[in-house]
Amino acid sequence: MSLGDLYHKDVLRLAATAVGAKRLGAPDTTVVRVNPICGDKITLDVQRDGTRVRALGYEVKACVLCQASASILGAAAAGATLANLETLADALRVMLSGKAPALPEPFTDYMAMQPVAAHRSRHACVFLPLEALLEALETAD
């Protein structure tokens, strides 16, 4: 499978849509994550109620896979709890291991990332926004 297979129309659409691609004015938590392998960077702002996402905003300087992943979270994370997002992370690990995933609603757009399974070095690109969000919620008071 070529790298071109990674950037199919669904991934490009998700990245271009860039849902939530703005910094929040008054975040409860801001997390900056950088992938040291490729240089992808996300600054993620979260307004939360405990460990539940109230609002999410981000600035991303990264590859299309990371941009698409951030956009999926921007569209679907409001209302999600830390437990919901941990379940999502587990399902993504299964999917990226090449097995059939059962992705939880409302995160089924991550199915577009199935071709990434064949490119282990790109898994971190998909996970970077989710790891930033998990960190933001794990630091909740």
* C-alpha–C-alpha distance, residues 14 and 10, integer Å: 6
Domains of the chain: residue spans and CATH? 3-138 (3.90.1010.10)
pLDDT tens sequence across 121-141: 999 999 999 999 999 999 865
pLDDT at 102: 79
Q: How many residues does the chain have?
A: 141
How far are the Cα atoms of 48, 69, 90 from residue 13, in angstroms, in the given order?
28, 11, 24
pLDDT tens sequence across 68-84: 999 999 999 999 999 99
What global pTM score does this model have? 0.94
Strands 29-34 and 41-49: antiparallel
How far are the Cα atoms of 5, 12, 85 from residue 32, in angstroms, in the given order?
29, 24, 18
